[in-house]
Structure 1
Amino acid sequence: MLNIHGVVTAATLSLALFSGAAFAGEMVKIKDITGREVSVNVPVERVILGEGRQIYFTAALDTDHPFKRIVGWRDDFQKADLDGYNIYLKKFPEMGKIPTFGGMKDGTFDIEQAVTLKPDVIIMNIDAKSATEESGYIDKLSKVGIPLVYVDFREKAMENTDPSMRLIGKLFGKEKRAEEFVQFHDAQIKRVTDKLASVKDLKKPVVFMERAGGYSDDCCMSFGNENFGKMVDIAGGKNMADGIIPGTFGVVNPEQIIASNPDQVIVTGANWELYVPGGKWVGVGPGADKAVAEKKLADLMKRPAFTDIKAVKEGNVHAIWHQFYNNPYQFVAIQQMAKWLHPDLFKDLDPEATFKELHDRFLPVAYESGYFVSLKPRS
């Protein structure tokens, strides 16, 4: 094992070498989403997920059994998406026995635990790259024969989702399945972008995206020109925080919201009972109680930054599942936002039907409504 100074012992190295020989396959060099060249024995049979919510992509590839390769994962799925977690747990109770890890970003990832699980690969989100490099995790893992690859559905999601899915398809030996998903993903986005491109002098409403509204009492987290901010642009809107927030994530103050007077407000939310019990967050997600979600969304609009803005007065206030910001299903969010921003243009578009088709074709659990709610105009 690694001793207290992070030195690799002979026993650990022997274990790692044994692990590498345990599964016959093809050793290939792949480039991960950062451009790093990594040697991996494919198809991988034993995988550690750097984030539990990466199950969103394993489920789309290993639909018959999304946990069959997973020997360890970070402990965030249950906390960040309790409703989704419970749906998967009901169908796959063995999921609850998968060993969990802390995160590399907060320094709680346990390399010794990882080595004992003999993974063929560790899949990390790109947002953990700096912390992973600074802590020396990659070098330490390399010394014991464990490759690490980065994927991205969060920092530059619209740019990196397709190559990330293809990369995972290569790792899993599911290239054809990954390509089918990519084609579906891209075709569903084109249903929005092609329609918008056909409109001359399109008027783009100003949209304020509030990230995790009600999660804390602070106002207000939002998105710059990536993630949900980019989705707003693709859906035919103008992201209010673009130009205010320099990166992907940041904060705008109440005065900026009042001065911008946005045409639309979209709040991201999920069931965060394990993070903030009884919080003011809007619990949209699979099987959510929409009446409760609408009530909480309406309460958030009573904050000083929102009471007199155009969006609230005209009832153009919505909540959307927060986890679209970190998985390959963003096309559903784009369709729903396009329908909110341009209802006449997209009156025949049905994002719920799109999401159900995704479940029917690619996912092992049935679709349950509850991912979106909207407020009615004031009388």
Structure 2
Amino acid sequence: MKNWLFSVVAILGLSPVFAVSAAPIVVEDVSGRQVEIKSEVKRIILGEGRQIYLLAAFDTDAPFQRVVGWRDDLPKADYDGYLAYENKYPEIKKLPTFGGAKDGTFNVEQALTLKPDLVLMNLESKAATDEGKLIEKLGSLGIPVVFIDFREKPFENAEKSIHIMGQLLGKPQRADDIIRFRQQQIDIVTERLKNYQAPRPKVMIDRAGGYEDECCMSFGNENFGRMVEVAGGENIAKNLIPGTFGTLNPEQIISARPDVAIVSGANWKNYNTANGWVGVGPGADQKVALQRLQKLMARPAFKTLPVATNGNAHAIWHQFYDSPYQFVAIQVMAKWLHPELFKDIDPDATFRTFHEKFLPLPYQPGYWVTLPAGS
């Protein structure tokens, strides 16, 4: 470790002693680590490009002003979302990109040349960063690593992650405002369901349906699986998948006879060119999305079930599972599961208002579709 440190210092012409430009703060990240931030955070490396969903809600006027590098996932995982940002901020095409810490392709020496004040990582990469001693390597050069999480345990860590970003950027009031808006929108759903006594619709979440030939990836009692429960449904995989992510076989789906099927999707043209996925997202082509959703409902796991043709098959933007925007998905699913109870709720208006209050981009509909009955 010591030899590695001094070789990097020599390469970069850095002193191992870094000046402190502001009073230090200590932040507890979602992994429980106490992280000292010694100076104002002006230069950030995003360990995942989709972290811009959060950062943009804080630095709304200039969402990339602090970003000196980011992981290369956004154009792959959310091509439509990436294009929306690129069209308004074309300079992002020149941002240095990185591989992922989880798969061991994060380039430490490249990161150091950018002299970041902070590297932001997602919680699911924690085991890999520990194994590769990435935290120690960066820490030895005065570069802290902070973990946030909207994917593994969002119902436990989403608000924490928003608070953490507020601390890091010196914008705690902004964090409070975002959290308050989120909670108000979730409360609209949960308050109405408090006295709901009828059976809850059984729901199959088809995670990234069509992305792979095998059927079907899904969620346990977290992330989209938990969103279904909050929205007043019964996630059929809740007791079949022990963690956040897992797989159901077609026989399990047929046996469960879900009342509602929800496929998560996005524009994954840079990940998977087979194009079996449902490309919902900002400004998505709804006609194409419906055609693909109809094909997915013709798979063996669904084609014999009423849900394939009775108007209860839907698709929703996959990235609700990895962003601060879960409240929108909860409202959308509540309307699908209980249309009469939530007939006055408009999730499009909710998401548009959030964009107007917190985000730098204008709202573009297209984040969800419903396959009409008889299709």
> How far 1:25 moved relative to its partner?
1.7
Contact 1:47–1:122 under 8 Å retained in 2: yes
Partner of 1:11: 10
Contact 1:316–1:374 under 8 Å retained in 2: yes
> Which shifted more, 183-192 or 6-15?
6-15
Change beyond 3 A, Cα 1:43–1:186: farther
Amino acid at match of 1:325: Y
Contact 1:8–1:140 under 8 Å retained in 2: no
Partner of 2:233: 237
> How far 1:355 moved relative to its partner?
0.4
Instruction: Please point out which of 356, 370, 374 is paired with 2:366.
Output: 370
Change beyond 3 A, Cα 1:44–1:12: farther
> How far 1:96 moved relative to its partner?
1.0
Partner of 1:25: 22
Partner of 1:158: 155
Query: 2:36, 2:305 → 1: CA distance?
Result: 54
> How far 1:369 moved relative to its partner?
0.5
User: What SS is found at the alignment partner of 2:271?
Assistant: coil
User: What SS is found at the alignment partner of 2:38?
Assistant: strand
User: What SS is found at the alignment partner of 1:280?
Assistant: coil
Instruction: Please point out which of 40, 44, 51 is paired with 1:43.
Output: 40
Contact 1:8–1:144 under 8 Å retained in 2: no
User: What SS is found at the alignment partner of 1:15?
Assistant: coil
Contact 1:13–1:143 under 8 Å retained in 2: no
Amino acid at match of 1:275: Y
Contact 2:12–2:113 under 8 Å retained in 1: no
User: What SS is found at the alignment partner of 2:14?
Assistant: helix
Contact 1:16–1:118 under 8 Å retained in 2: no
Amino acid at match of 2:14: L
Give per-residue Cα distances to partners, 1:164-195, cap 9 Å, x unaligned.
10101110111111111010011110010011
Q: CA RMSD in A?
A: 1.6
Contact 1:13–1:144 under 8 Å retained in 2: no
Instruction: Please point out which of 330, 336, 341 is paired with 2:337.
Output: 341
Structure 1 position 56 matched with structure 2 position 50: no
User: What SS is found at the alignment partner of 1:30?
Assistant: strand
Instruction: Please point out which of 243, 247, 250 is paired with 1:247.
Output: 243
Structure 1 position 72 matched with structure 2 position 75: no
Amino acid at match of 1:80: A
> How far 1:12 moved relative to its partner?
6.1
Change beyond 3 A, Cα 1:16–1:289: farther
Instruction: Please point out which of 312, 315, 318 is paired with 2:314.
Output: 318
Query: 2:15, 2:93 → 1: CA distance?
Result: 26
Partner of 2:142: 145
Output aligned runs, 1:249-288, within 5 Å: 249-288=245-284
Partner of 1:87: 84
Structure 2 length-normalised TM:
0.97
Query: 2:269, 2:12 → 1: CA distance?
Result: 42
**Identity between Structure 1 and Structure 2 (%):** 55
Partner of 1:308: 304
User: What SS is found at the alignment partner of 1:358?
Assistant: helix
Query: 1:101, 1:39 → 2: CA distance?
Result: 24
Gap runs ≥5 in structure 1: none
Contact 1:34–1:150 under 8 Å retained in 2: yes
Instruction: Please point out which of 76, 101, 105 is paired with 1:104.
Output: 101
Contact 2:216–2:248 under 8 Å retained in 1: yes
Give per-residue Cα distances to partners, 1:189-208, cap 9 Å, x unaligned.
00100111132x14211000
Instruction: Please point out which of 182, 185, 200 is paired with 2:182.
Output: 185
> How far 1:224 moved relative to its partner?
0.5
Amino acid at match of 1:119: P
Instruction: Please point out which of 219, 223, 228 is paired with 1:223.
Output: 219
User: What SS is found at the alignment partner of 1:26?
Assistant: coil
Query: 1:194, 1:202 → 2: CA distance?
Result: 15
Give per-residue Cα distances to partners, 1:46-78, cap 9 Å, x unaligned.
001100000000110000010000001100001
Contact 1:49–1:70 under 8 Å retained in 2: yes
> How far 1:153 moved relative to its partner?
0.5
Query: 1:41, 1:359 → 2: CA distance?
Result: 32
Partner of 1:173: 170
**Consecutive aligned runs of 4 or more in structure 1 exceeding 6 Å deviation:** none
Contact 1:213–1:220 under 8 Å retained in 2: yes
Instruction: Please point out which of 11, 27, 31 is paired with 1:34.
Output: 31
Query: 1:8, 1:15 → 2: CA distance?
Result: 9
Partner of 1:289: 285
> How far 1:8 moved relative to its partner?
3.9
